[in-house]
Amino acid sequence: MTKRSLSSLSLDELNGKRVLVRVDFNVPINDQGSITDDTRIRAALPTIQDLVAKKAKVILSAHFGRPKGTVNDGMRLSPVAHRLSELLGKPVTKTDSCIGPDAEEKVNAMNNGDVVLLENVRFIPGEEKNDKDFARQLASLAEVYVNDAFGAAHRAHASTEGVTNFLSPNVAGYLMEKELQYLQGAIDSPKRPLAAIVGGSKVSSKIGVLESLIDKCDKVLLGGGMIFTFYKARGLSVGKSLVEDDKIELAKALEEKALSKGVEFLLPTDVVLADNFAPDANSQVASITSIPEGWMGLDIGPDSAESFQSALSNCQTVIWNGPMGVFEFDKFAKGTNSIANSLADLSQKGCCTIIGGGDSVAAVEKAGLASKMSHISTGGGASLELLEGKVLPGVAALDDLT
C-alpha cells in the first residue's frame, strides 16, 4: 500500500490525542429501529479498539442513509451507538449534531480512551458538497485523522476528503488498509492465473469494471441478467429475459476485446428459466441456443456451474462481483451458491478469493460461507471503482508513505 496507515503511528502520536475516525456505519435497520446486520460496525472494531488501547480520544464520524442535508430523526445514529457500546464493552457517547456546541462540549469532556460518536454527518448540507467551512469545523474537533470507511472512500465529501486539509497526520485505518491490500493487490500484482467473475442484472452498471478486468485478467466469467445482452449481441433469442438494447454494440465490443487480448471470456451455456419473475414461478433449464418465447432467465444452469468450476480450478486469484442469478429466490439461487462453494473450496487450496462488495457479499453470507473467503469487501461502489482503476478521493487524500 502506498499510503500511511494507523500502524505507522507511535504511541506518543496517539496517547491523549483527539483522533477523528471516519467509519462506515451505514448498516441496515428495520422498521422497529433495530440493526439487522452489524457487519460494518464489527469491521471497524480493530481500529477503534487499537486507538482506545493507546489512550487516544476516539471521535467517530459516520453517515447513515440519504437525508440530503437535513435532519431526519429516522436516520439518527442512536441504534449504532448502542450496538457499538455493546461490542466495545464500554459507553459510547453520541452527540446531537456532528458540529456545534453539543459536539464540542462532549469532545472536550472526553478522557483518554473514551469514544464519542458524532451524529450523522449527512444531516449537514456541506458534507456531500465537500464544503470547506464545514470540513474545517468538523476537523477542529480533532488533531489526527484516520479514514477507515472504505465504503465511502469513492466520495469526495467533507468527512472523507475535506478534513485532511486541516488535520495531520492523515492515515488509513486497519479496515481501509486491508481493503486496499487485497483489492489493489489483486489488480496490480496478483498471483496468476487471475479470474474475475462478474454478475448482476445490467451491463451498464459494470461497463468500467469489465473493460478494466479484461485488460488485467486471464479469465472473465459472466453471469446474472447482463448475459442476455451478450446473447442478443450474438444473435440468439432470449425470450423475455432482461436485455439492454442500447448496450448490444458494447457487448460485442467487450467480447471482441477479450478475444483480441487472449482472455478466456466465458458466458453460461445453459440457464434456468422462469415463466414470470416470482419465487414460485414455473422453471426449466434450457440451452442458451433454445430459450423459448415467454420465458426469462433467472439463473445460470447446472452445466454452466460445472464449466465455471472447471475454469476456476487452476486460478490463484479470483475476484467476484455480482450474483449469477436472482439468488434472493431460493429456486434461482443454485448458480450463485455453486460459485460461492467453488470459491470456498479454492480458498482452502491457497487461492486468494476476494468478494468485491454488494450483492456478492450478501450471497456469500446467505450461503454461510463468508468465513471461508480470503477477503470480503465492505465497499460496494468503492470496490467497483477501485477495480475499474479509478482513484478514490478518500484514499488519495491520505498521507503518502515516505
The residues that are catalytic are 40, 202, 358, 381
- What three-state secondary structure class fits 316? coil
The owner of cell 470480503 is 376
Task: Report the alpha-carbon distance of residue 126 to residue 122 in Å, rounded.
Answer: 8
CA distance 300 to 253: 23
> Cell numbers of 355, please?
468478494
Nine cell digits for residue 1 = 500500500
Radius of gyration for the alpha carbons in the chain, expressed in angstroms and rounded: 23
Work out whether the CA dihedral 178, 204, 128, 61 comes out positive or negative. Answer: negative
The CB-based long-range contact list for 80-85 (8 Å cut-off, 24+ gap) reads 80/25, 80/27, 80/35, 80/41, 80/117, 81/117, 83/35, 83/38, 83/41, 84/25, 84/41, 84/48, 84/60, 84/115, 84/117
* Beta carbons within 10 angstroms of residue 168's beta carbon: 11
Report the C-alpha dihedral over residues 90, 96, 101, 103, rounded to 10 degrees. 40
